[in-house]
Every structure is written in C-alpha cells, then in structure tokens.
Amino acid sequence: MDLLDNLALGFSTALLLQNVLYCFVGVLLGTAVGVLPGIGPTATVAMLLPITFSFEPVTALIMLAGIYYGAQYGGSTTAILINLPGESSAAVTALDGHEMARQGRAGAALATAAVGSFIAGTVATVALAVAAPPLARVALRFGPAEYFSLVLLGLIVSIALARGAPLKALAMIALGVLFGTVGQDIYTGTPRFVFDQRELYGGIDFVSVAVGMFGVAEILRNLENEQTRTTVVSRVKNLWPTREDRRRIVAPILRGTGIGAALGVLPGGGHVLASFTSYAVEKRISKRGDEFGHGAIEGVAGPESANNAAAQTSFIPLLTLGLPAHPVMALMVGAFIVHGITPGPNVLTDEPALFWGLIASMWIGNVLLLLLNLPLIGLWVRMLRIPYQILFPMIILFAAIGTYSLGFNAFDVYAIVFFGILGYILIKCGCEPAPLLLGFVLGPLVEENLRRALIISRGDPTTFITRPISAILLTLTIAALVLTVLPAIRKRRETVFTEEE
C-alpha cells in the first residue's frame, strides 16, 4: 500500500500542467538531440542546465531527465535511416536496423525500436519505483567510511567501462579530482590552487566545466570532422511490424529489458555496455545467427530495449546513494545541488513529492515518446539537413548566455572557453572527457568522507577495513581494478569499443 500511495503522490505531482509541459519539451529536445549526430545528451543537458535554474526543482529535474531518455529514443532513428547513430548506445542498432532500411523495411525497424523502448522504459520505471526505497533505507545506515569506499568503487568501475586505455581513464579521473579541489578547504577554509583569482575561491563552476568539456569540445570535434549525411529512405512505409516480426521480437525485448535494467546501474557506460551485451546474447542464442548484420529484427529489438531500460535504472544510484552512474547523471547531481537539494537517500524522506514525481514523470515521458517518435520521422530526417556551421554557433551562443546569466560573471564564460579548448585537446589525445566529469563531481565526496571518517576514528585508517560494509566495498574496488588490467578483459573492452566506433 505504501508503494501505491507513493505512486499516487508521484503522479499527482508529475501530472501538474507545467510538469507535463516541460516533460514534453524535454523529451522533444532529447529526441531531436539524439537524431543529430555528434551532440549527444550529455552536451545538451550541460548546455540547457542554466535555463532550468529558474524553474521549480521538480520541474527542472523532470525536463532534464526527459532530455536524457528522449535522446536514447532519438539515437535509433538516424542509426536506422542513415547509418549514423545520434547517440553512442545506438551504434549497435545501426548494424541490423540500417540493413532493414536498405531492404525497404525501415518502418518495421523504427516501430520495433519504439515499441521495445516503450516496454523497456515502462518495466525499468517500475523496477526503479520498487528498488529505490529499500536501497535508500539501507543507504541511510552508511557512515563516512562506507560512503568513501562506495564512491571509490564507483570511480574504479567507471575506468573499466570507459573507452580507450584504462590508464588514460585513470588520468582523466585524477585530473577531474584535482579540478574538484580548487577553492577553499572544506574544514580550514585555506585557499587551494586559486592562483590569487578571487573567482576561484568558491571553486570551479560546475556548469562551466560541463558546457566546456561536453558542449564546446564536442562541437569543435564535429566541425573538424563533419560527416556526410545521406538518407536511403525517402518515405517510410508499413510502420507496423508483421505478425512474424511481432513473434520474433517478444523474447529479445524481454531479455534486453532485463539486461539493461541490471547493467544500467553500473558507473561509466552501463547503457552502452547493455546494448552490446544484448546484441551479443541475441546473436548467440538465435537460430538465425547468420541473419545478424544483414537485417535481423532481433538485432534491433534487443539492443534498443536494453538501451532504454538502462537509461531509466541509471537513476537508481543517483536517487538512493547520490552517486552518478555516468556524465548525464553527474549533471543531474549538479541540478540537485543548485536547487539546494542534496542528492541521496534523504531525498526520499525530505522531498517525497520530488522523488516520486520524477519517477512518475518517466512513465509519462515514455508515453509521450511513443506518440512522438513515429509520426515525426519526416521532421527528424529533415533536421539532418541543417549545416553544422549554422547549428553549432547558435548552440554555443545560447549556452554562453545561459551560463553568464547564473551569476552575471564573465569569468564563467572564460571558463567555458578554457574547458572547451582543454576538452578538445584531450579528445585529440585519445582521452575521453566523461571520467574527468565524474572525478570532478565525486572527488570532493571522496575527500570529505575520507577526512570525516578519519576525524571520527581519531586518525585510525583501519576504520575502513574494520567496518564490514566498507571492507566489502573496498574488496570489490580492488577486484574491479585487477579485472580492468587483466589481458583478457582489456582485449574484450577494446573489441566492444572498436565495434561501437
């Protein structure tokens, strides 16, 4: 009964007119962003984050969440129609989806992706509603030692799931943690790494880092390597799959939903890993294994379901532990903090309307996406004709105006330029910026809980291994670090991310 009462509270919040409107705006923007190759949900959420600061907290978070899972939907459209995934996790969908389009079955592929995404999103939202409260209650028992070990585990696991060499991912996390220490010491107030700049005494602005690293840097990279965008489908017909298609997609959708729901909570690239894992499972167990890569509808149904289920369950560690599973969730942490809310288990008790309203809005968003995705296919394809040289300067302009409007401080705009150039250099060096943002967000949490645990234990470092939960988490951290550097695991990582690219 408690769950039903909480869901009733959530829907009463999510169904307020302004919340439904901004949920619609969020999923519409997210779908559009997913369609456009090279931008992605991280850059979009980063650049639209300043706009939401004047909203009510629940409205802002509903819109930002809609952008994220809307992008997961939108990425499949161009993956199928023009073989250019708009979002990294949609890359595997292009393998069979585009082949179906070339065979004149684009409608069936798009409908399969939409229906699979809706079913997976709905099931994963229910899983989130069921799993989040007990996890939050467990998290309330965590002390500083447990939180330190948990955050450390998250950082190490994100290395394993990052693209490229593990050493580069570790270096990016270390750089992010270093940027996170800029400002005044949390206990003594001593300035650190401020270089006599008054603006740095309060630390580096989160929005400037996010917009620069993911907005400006990605735009510079895409302007350098603009891709040719041509569609093989002038008119999409026969949107509804045949009876045989429907029979073939039921099991892959269910399996993909389960895989995505489980892997979505992992730090790093859980949604990307879920898509490729689902594809590998379907290819291995299918009696039509030779069709994969040549237009197998199971190769669309499974990965798309896994992708969207993972998008929903990635909110579980954010809402229950206050830990981001990937860069978009790190941006959501920033949104929570800006609105004066500390993400974590206390949100469930202190802000129940926000907690359950956000969960309920995900189901509403999935319904809106199902209604939006197929009728507007023609619009999404026409959007691809907008030249990057026109689109991207406009995006940067609005992002700079939004960031400046937060504190009317020109230093924040200069910071965007600095982090944009830094992000572009890192990309050219083969380093992924995502671990840097995770390090920037989680680094202060590591420092705060490390020092707090040592203060409570009077400087005794054994407190981290004498407390059972902390000891288990540290053991898992060491295991994850060892697995990351094992030759077999490294080879598998390289295979997965080479296929993605």
What DSSP element (H or E) covers 191?
strand 191-192
Which residues, 6+ apart, have CB-to-CB distance to 183 below 8 Å? 191, 192, 193, 194, 200, 201, 202, 203, 204
Burial zone of 469 (CB within 10 Å; 0-12 exposed, 13-18 middle, 19+ buried): middle
Residue with the bigger pLDDT between 245 and 374: it is 245
Q: What is the pLDDT of residue 1?
A: 52
Q: How far apart are CA 64 and CA 180, in angstroms?
A: 23
Q: Each residue of 156-186: pLDDT tens digit?
A: 877 766 666 788 888 998 999 999 899 988 8
- Which residues face 183 on adjacent strands? 192
Are 110 and 67 in contact by the 8 Å Cβ rule? The answer is: no
Q: Taking 80 as the threshold, does the pLDDT of residue 495 lie above it?
A: no
Are 442 and 151 in contact by the 8 Å Cβ rule? The answer is: yes
Q: How far apart are CA 343 and CA 367, in angstroms?
A: 27
Q: Please, what is the average pLDDT of the chain?
A: 81
Q: Each residue of 264-279: pLDDT tens digit?
A: 887 666 677 788 788 8
Q: Taking 70 as the threshold, does the pLDDT of residue 331 lie above it?
A: yes
Q: Each residue of 285-294: pLDDT tens digit?
A: 888 777 887 8
What DSSP element (H or E) covers 381?
helix 377-383
Q: How far apart are CA 223 and CA 228, in angstroms?
A: 12
Q: What is the pLDDT of residue 187?
A: 82
DSSP 40-54: HHHHHHHHHGGGGGG
What DSSP element (H or E) covers 129?
helix 106-139
Are 74 and 87 in contact by the 8 Å Cβ rule? The answer is: yes
CA nearest to 44, candidates 57, 54, 56, 31: 31
Structure confidence at residue 384 as a pLDDT band (50, 70, 90)? low
Q: Taking 50 as the threshold, does the pLDDT of residue 458 lie above it?
A: yes
Q: Taking 50 as the threshold, does the pLDDT of residue 471 lie above it?
A: yes
Q: Each residue of 391-427: pLDDT tens digit?
A: 778 777 877 776 777 677 888 889 989 998 999 999 8
Which residues, 6+ apart, have CB-to-CB distance to 452 below 8 Å? 144
Are 352 and 9 in contact by the 8 Å Cβ rule? The answer is: yes
Structure tokens at 253: 């959708």
Which residues, 6+ apart, have CB-to-CB distance to 76 below 8 Å? 34, 85, 90, 93, 97, 110, 113, 117, 300, 304, 307
Pairing of strands 191-192, 183-184: antiparallel
Q: What are the domain boundaries of the chain?
A: 2-498
Q: Each residue of 174-225: pLDDT tens digit?
A: 999 999 899 988 888 889 998 888 888 888 887 788 788 877 887 787 777 6
Q: What is the pLDDT of residue 488?
A: 54
Contacts 24+ apart (CB under 8 A), 387-393: 388/38, 388/222, 388/223, 388/226, 389/223, 391/36, 392/219, 392/222, 392/223
Are 346 and 51 in contact by the 8 Å Cβ rule? The answer is: no
Burial zone of 340 (CB within 10 Å; 0-12 exposed, 13-18 middle, 19+ buried): exposed
Q: What is the pLDDT of residue 238?
A: 64
Q: What is the pLDDT of residue 71?
A: 78
Are 13 and 56 in contact by the 8 Å Cβ rule? The answer is: no
Structure tokens at 178: 């270093």
Q: What is the mean pLDDT of residues 102-108?
A: 81
Q: Taking 80 as the threshold, does the pLDDT of residue 381 lie above it?
A: no
**Tokens 């965590």, residue?**
142
Which residues, 6+ apart, have CB-to-CB distance to 340 below 8 Å? 57
Q: Three-class SS of residue 57?
A: helix
Q: What is the pLDDT of residue 499?
A: 47
Q: What is the pLDDT of residue 18?
A: 92
Structure confidence at residue 89 as a pLDDT band (50, 70, 90)? low
Q: Each residue of 46-67: pLDDT tens digit?
A: 777 777 878 888 999 999 888 8
CA nearest to 288, candidates 258, 236, 247, 233: 247
Can you give the pTM of this predicted structure? Answer: 0.75
CA separation (Å) from 387 to 34, 37, 216, 226, 228? 16, 12, 17, 9, 11
- Which residues face 184 on adjacent strands? 191
Q: How far apart are CA 399 and CA 393, in angstroms?
A: 10
Q: What is the pLDDT of residue 23?
A: 92
- Which residues face 191 on adjacent strands? 184
Q: What is the pLDDT of residue 500?
A: 46
